[in-house]
Amino acid sequence: MSDDDFLRVEAFDCPMSTCAAPAGSPCRTGRGKVAIQYHTARFRLVPSLAKALAVATPALRKPGSAWVELPRRATASAEPAGHVRIGYARASTVRQSLDTQLDSLAEAGVTRVFSEKISTRVLRRPELEKAIALAREIRASGVAVTLVVHEHKRLGRGIELAALAENLRAADIGLEFLTGDLHGSHDPTGIVFTVLAAMSGMDREYIRDRTLEGHESARARGKTIGGAAVTDEAMLSHALHLRDQQGMSLRDIAARLVITTGKKKGQHPSPATVLRMLRDHDQAAGAAETSNA
**Catalytic sites, residue numbers:** 92
Helix (H) or strand (E) holding 287: helix 271-292
As a whole number of angstroms, the distance between CA 88 and CA 105 comes to 8
Give the H or E element holding residue 158: helix 158-170
Give the three-class secondary structure for 113: strand
Give CA torsion, residues 3, 178, 103, 111, to 10 deg. Answer: -50
CA neighbor of 161 nearest in space, from 128, 208, 207? 128
**E strand intervals along the chain:** 83-91, 112-117, 144-149, 174-177, 184-186
Residue 228 contacts by C-beta under 8 Å, 6 or more apart in sequence?
Answer: 261, 262, 263
Could you write out the DSSP letters of every residue in 65-82? SBP-PPPPPPPTTSPPS-
Q: Which helix (H) or strand (E) holds 274?
A: helix 271-292
Cβ neighbourhood burial of 77 (10 Å; 0-12, 13-18, 19+)? exposed
DSSP secondary structure code for residue 56 in this structure:
B
